[in-house]
Structure 1
Amino acid sequence: MQARRLRLGHEPLDGAMGSVLAADVRGPDGRAVLRKGTRLAEQHRAALSTMKGVSLHLIDLAADELEQDEVASRLVGAIAGPGTQPGTASQGQARLRATWRGLLRIDADALARINARPPLLVFTRPSGQIVVEDDEVAGAKSAALATSEAAVHDVEALGRSGPIVRVEAFARRRIAVVMTDRLQAAGRALMAQAIRRKIEWFGSELVSIAEIAHEPDAVERELRARTAEGVELMLFSGANPLDPLDAAFEAIAAVGGRTDRSGVPAHPGSMVWIGEVAGVPVLGIAACAGFGKNTALDLLLARVLAGDEPARAADELGHGGLLEGPSAAAWFPPYDRGGVSPARGASVAAPVGAK
């Protein structure tokens, strides 16, 4: 790269053609006529020929150097993994967007390796955030007007070794809800609506909502019935996670299941518990009212539907698990955006009734 000045009206304008502007060119009114980063070409000659006395700050690129837009375009292409789509570079940077709804995964080590090579800059949303179609998930640019192509080649090689930014799509699952806490009719309808809205937002199918007695035999019958019909995930409310003799845990043990953990490292909703019956994960909360709120259960559900093993998913909630204050909303599924997941289609509405 070579930097130089060219004073308009004093030196031939031909000497500027093909060079890159290092600073904005402003007219008499102070407004930018041409922006920095512009590669000067014939279409700019007319504007420049009227600006006598203006000093152009120019960059001449070497044969092995790239302009900002090309760097940005190639960088987002290099980091793009499944579930993402690179955008067109503009004004020196480019963005990466989600192509489907899911959990954002970032290879933080690879990202750090890229950003340890200035002037390359790649920036992303936090790993583990829930994103929807067309959300911006990453961006890239160069902090210089001339960048070594070799540095970009290295990032492209890194991207070929494994995805740096990807969106893990939510899998469609058949989900049953079991409630042992009693509700009035109006409350039952509202809770069923809230549960269905969340499950269908993830693209899964709500196959049943059962309101049963908080007794071991009743819970055992329900667990057996739901696993026999092939549900793939159960949500349970009404058990006391502090009581190992609770009817829910006794019933889980009676059918050969297990309780993996009580409590998850996130607040609100830290008393979520996790179990398994006949290979089917069970995610539990103390009261069904929690289904209508944004809690740790929403984050755990997202990770499980994205393919994480439930107990491992719970372990990872601690980083970013303080979910209070205005900024906490960014971590929860945006249930008010997008409706039923278009990638998965509308799920079948399930009847609500006592069993």
Structure 2
Amino acid sequence: MIFGPTPLEEARGAILAHTVRMPGKVLKKGTVLDEAAIAALKEAGRRDVIAARLESGDVAEDEAADRIANLLMAPLVARSRASTGRVNLFAESAGLFTVDVALVDRLNQVDESVTIATLANRSVVSAKEMLATIKVIPFAVPGSVLSVIEAMAKGRPLLSVQPFRPLAVGLVLTELPGIKESVMEGAVEATEARVQGLMGTMLPVERVRHEEGPVADALTRLRKAGAELLLIAGASAVVDRRDVGPAAIVRAGGAIEHFGMPVDPGNLICLGRIGEVPAMVLPGCARSPKLNGFDWVLQRIFAGQRVTARDVMGMGVGGLLKEIEVRPLPRADAPRVPASPIAPRKARQVGALVLAAGRSRRMAPLNKLLVPDSKGVPMIARVVDNVLASRARPVIVVTGHERERVEEALAGRAVLFAHAEDYAEGLSASLKAGLKAVPPEAEGMLVCLGDMPLVSGEMLDRLMGAFDPEEGRAIVQPTFRGKQGNPMLWSREFLPAMLALSGDVGARHLAAQHAERLVEVEMADDAVLRDFDTTDALKALPEFAGRR
């Protein structure tokens, strides 16, 4: 193709490269110049134009795009007509879009004149949604280039739409004492929404004890009822192939094909099969409507694909679906930039309790909370300032011993006070006094200790970033090198159990009882392990060393 300034005497049949505006007439870019167009240009005083002239063997842009589009056609794929070197391809049905990524890459590398852009492989598409666009960049393509592309693509299915099948889905919901009904209902609602979104239907849900035998019996009943896909939503997350859910699949006559997947959220999924019916134990995140690894497996099954262990193990690249604070940054000052294209959800409202009611018996006669640092700031004020630097609101300080002095040390700070009249009875009394002051809109409570001044607001924000009861992260605990520390963050669902505590104990034992709802956040330093309740411990803190 010859491109550039072209004398009007040589422009007949040339393609106008840029729109030309003349009195009473406009010649648009791409116009093939005929005698009338050339005459109009001459009349307007033009001697030449910027144009493209095809040479022997060149294929005009629309014809080239048309020929390439014809090669890519497949069942349930429609196309537009060629225009300005472009043809668009569309889905004729809802389904799973698949594309030969390697072939598209090779075709795009043949020559800069031809480009093919598609949706991401395995995208869920709706009817009439655009799947791909073929665009010829210049006004013509050398015939030799087009021949190479046609030879590479001929007979090779480059893309497809696999329609979703209207599968009947059976769900077994297992129960344990203490699990809130809202959690169970949420699992059903999220599963039903996913199934219906893929054109499936739900059979009546089976609710049984979280035991191998009842779950196996429920699977058998659902198969007899016509289930074409079996799902188990466990009250407790599956942690091994021999756990309740997988064992029930085997007991019902099935087999486990793969446990775990390199997709987060979604790691703890278990894939099995009973005869020809796929059977899965769902990860905890499946209770949430947010995208997770279960969605990827479910979409393939509804599209008629058999999902193998190899398929699952190949999902790692792109499998980090969102950034959560469970994945600690290597340093507290790591760049705070979005790590995922997925828009973050609105932050959950979390309140903070600062327990400052104790009698400081191990440091008597001093009250450790009122010991000033080298700048004269009492320990309790440092702790509260750190909490206020986080996004936790409201901040509630629980007072007891030397109530007036503690309130005076915090004068002017944006905190609420809750007094524990029976503080002498122990830690549980202080905790309950604070919990009763937590507003109803707070979804969680950070329980902070008044003698841990090294825990920063940033650390507290990281704990709150990991908090998501819908995805099974209802208790959040910091760790350092695997050792558990404080403060802990509790979902409101545990408030009744915490209010029932008595004696000089906190709520930590509840975390052991609800291990499936606990998530640990590894911290970069040991601040979450260090409390200062003796004079010797205080000497190890430079800001307080020598202060009495």
Shorter-chain TM-score range: 0.7 to 0.9
Query: Conserved in 2, the CA contact under 8 Å of 1:67 and 1:145?
Result: yes
Q: State the alpha-carbon separation in 2 of the partners of residues 44 and 268 from structure 1.
A: 62
Q: State the alpha-carbon separation in 2 of the partners of residues 58 and 116 from structure 1.
A: 27
Could you say which residue in structure 1 is the equivalent of 2:137? 143
Q: Which amino acid aligns with 1:19?
A: A
Query: Conserved in 1, the CA contact under 8 Å of 2:297 and 2:307?
Result: yes
Q: Which amino acid aligns with 1:318?
A: G
Q: State the alpha-carbon separation in 2 of the partners of residues 125 and 264 from structure 1.
A: 24
1:229-248 correspondence to structure 2 within 5 Å: 229-238=225-234, 239-248=236-245
Give the counterpart of 2:215 among 204, 212, 219. Answer: 219
TM-score in terms of structure 2 length: 0.53
Give the counterpart of 1:174 among 162, 168, 171. Answer: 168
Query: For 1:307-349, what per-residue CA distance to the aligned partner results, in whole angstroms no more than 9, with x for missing partners?
Result: 33223432232121111165248xxxxxxxxxxxxxxxxxxxx
Bigger Cα displacement from structure 2, 264-273 vs 92-101:
92-101
> Greater RCO between the two (CA within 8 Å, min separation 6)?
1
Q: Which amino acid aligns with 1:327?
A: P
Query: For 1:99-134, what per-residue CA distance to the aligned partner results, in whole angstroms no more than 9, with x for missing partners?
Result: 222222111232233222212221222212222222
Query: Conserved in 2, the CA contact under 8 Å of 1:237 and 1:288?
Result: no
SS, match of residue 130 in structure 1: strand
Could you say which residue in structure 1 is the equivalent of 2:276? 279
* Distance change in 2, residues 1:295/1:213 (3 Å): same
Q: Which amino acid aligns with 1:93?
A: R
Query: Conserved in 2, the CA contact under 8 Å of 1:26 and 1:34?
Result: yes
Could you say which residue in structure 2 is the equivalent of 1:152? 146
Q: Does 1:20 align with 2:15?
A: yes
Q: State the alpha-carbon separation in 1 of the partners of residues 79 and 50 from structure 2.
A: 31
Query: Conserved in 2, the CA contact under 8 Å of 1:75 and 1:141?
Result: no
Q: State the alpha-carbon separation in 2 of the partners of residues 244 and 328 from structure 1.
A: 31
Give the counterpart of 2:265 among 263, 268, 290. Answer: 268
Could you say which residue in structure 1 is the equivalent of 2:314? 316
Structure 1: which 5+ residue stretches go unaligned?
330-355
Q: State the alpha-carbon separation in 2 of the partners of residues 51 and 68 from structure 1.
A: 29
Q: State the alpha-carbon separation in 2 of the partners of residues 204 and 43 from structure 1.
A: 61
Could you say which residue in structure 2 is the equivalent of 1:295? 292
Deviation at 1:284, TM superposition (A): 1.7
Give the counterpart of 1:129 among 123, 146, 153. Answer: 123
SS, match of residue 180 in structure 1: strand
Q: State the alpha-carbon separation in 2 of the partners of residues 47 and 247 from structure 1.
A: 83
Q: State the alpha-carbon separation in 1 of the partners of residues 242 and 28 from structure 2.
A: 71
Deviation at 1:229, TM superposition (A): 2.7
Q: Which amino acid aligns with 1:18?
A: G
Q: State the alpha-carbon separation in 2 of the partners of residues 296 and 81 from structure 1.
A: 28
Bigger Cα displacement from structure 2, 305-314 vs 94-103:
305-314
SS, match of residue 341 in structure 2: helix
Bigger Rg, structure 1 or 2: 2
Q: Which amino acid aligns with 1:16?
A: A
Give the counterpart of 2:198 among 193, 199, 202. Answer: 202
How high is the sequence identity, in percent, across the aligned residues? 25
Query: Conserved in 1, the CA contact under 8 Å of 2:116 and 2:134?
Result: yes
Query: Conserved in 1, the CA contact under 8 Å of 2:263 and 2:293?
Result: yes
Could you say which residue in structure 2 is the equivalent of 1:77? 70
Structure 2: which 5+ residue stretches go unaligned?
323-338, 344-548
Query: Conserved in 1, the CA contact under 8 Å of 2:259 and 2:269?
Result: yes
